[in-house]
Amino acid sequence: MNEEVGVKYVKRVPIRLKGNPNLSEKWLQERILEDPSLLGFGPLNVRASEKTLPKGGRLDLLLSDSETGTRYEVELQLGATDESHIIRAIEYWDLERRRYPQYDHVAVIVAEEITARFFNVIGLFNGFIPIVAIQVAALEVGDDEVTLVFTRILDHQTLADEEEDDIVAADRSYWETNASPETMKLVDDCLALVQSVDPGVTLNFTKRYIGLARNGTACNYVVFYPKPKQINLVIKLQRGDEADRLLEQSSLVVNAYRVRRGAYRPVATHSTFEENREIFRRLFEMAHEQYYD
């Protein structure tokens, strides 16, 4: 008779970090510094810890993604979130994005408990702040052995985009400086595909994004957000089976569908654009048809 080999179950005992003399905020910070991937954003680089900011205050952690150029301003808190930590996280994020506008910036708050009050405060900003809330739990798994579990409670919410009123005109040189000449060539490649289905459309440069225009009038069914190594696109298109299928079959990184704006948000680099050229062409074609329908 064959004996079934079982899996040993080990009960994990929750440990409260706040007030624990052996598990301080500094201890938590050191664990993340050792392995930033614990936060669930993939492999990140540590740019700074306890960073002193020009207007006062210290940012717990500044992390960055070398592939996308995204920077994460991380605020740590033991116990439950409170208003002061929430505002501090937003303030630090705002200071960094103003100093380094060429990068995407995401505010991250890590706490043992993400409270209803947190969501109420964030709700006041109506999705205008890209913020992630992560709940951390410490668990005892053996004698003098502790592990951490990070759970994303609120995912990345994005800034309001091209429909805001405070849009300031720019030109190509502005974006070559704030993004890169290489990504501007990629914008040109995208424009050529758009023009294959909509001849006569041109680029419309602003300091927030690059849109489309026809005879001097904006027609932003495709919008570009150039970064140093990639372009974040916003393709205004009602969600449908064909577009979903195309993007699922692609090799593209695709940000969450923006329901409020009704838009797909793929990310393009030079290599992924070439690999998915026909998919982009079809998405541009569908967005164009819907825009003029």
CB-CB contact of 222 with 232 (8 Å): no
* Domain-terminating residue out of 126, 154, 182: 154
The per-residue pLDDT for range 151-206, each reduced to its tens digit, is 988 876 544 444 454 578 899 999 999 999 999 999 999 999 999 999 999 999 99
Residue 41 located in a structural domain: yes
CA 243/CA 279 separation, integer angstroms: 9
Strand 71-80 versus strand 58-64 pairing type:
antiparallel
Angular region, 56: left φ>0, alpha ψ -120 to 50, beta rest: left
- Specify whether 38 is located in the same domain as 141: yes
- Specify whether 251 is located in the same domain as 150: no
- Specify whether 80 is located in the same domain as 126: yes
Residue 197 located in a structural domain: yes
Following DSSP, what letter does each residue of 30-99 receive, concatenated? Answer: HHHHH-GGGGSS-S-EEEEEEEEPTTS-EEEEEEE-TTT--EEEEEEEEEE--HHHHHHHHHHHHHHHHH
The per-residue pLDDT for range 250-277, each reduced to its tens digit, is 999 888 777 667 889 999 999 999 999 9
Q: Provide long-range contacts, Cβ within 8 A and 24+ apart, for 247-256.
A: 247/279, 247/283, 249/279, 250/275, 250/276, 250/279, 251/275, 251/276, 252/276, 252/279, 255/156, 255/158, 256/155, 256/156
Taking the complete model, does pTM exceed 0.85, yes or no? no
Considering only CA atoms, which of 255, 257, 286, 251 is closest in space to residue 269?
Answer: 251
User: Domain of 226: which CATH number?
Assistant: 3.90.1150
User: Domain of 77: which CATH number?
Assistant: 3.40.1350.10
Q: What are the two backbone dihedrals, phi and then psi, of residue 231, each rounded to the nearest 5 degrees?
A: -125, 130
Number of domains in the chain: 2
* Domain-terminating residue out of 88, 119, 154: 154
Q: Which two tokens stand for residue 88?
A: 């501090």
- Which one-letter DSSP state was computed for residue 231? E
Task: Find residue 226's DSSP bridge partners.
Answer: 231
- Specify whether 34 is located in the same domain as 114: yes
- Specify whether 131 is located in the same domain as 200: no
Residue 18 belongs to domain spanning = 13-154
Residue 123 located in a structural domain: yes
- Cβ atoms within 10 Å of 104's Cβ, excluding its own: 22
The per-residue pLDDT for range 52-106, each reduced to its tens digit, is 887 778 899 999 987 777 899 999 999 998 888 888 899 999 999 888 887 888 9
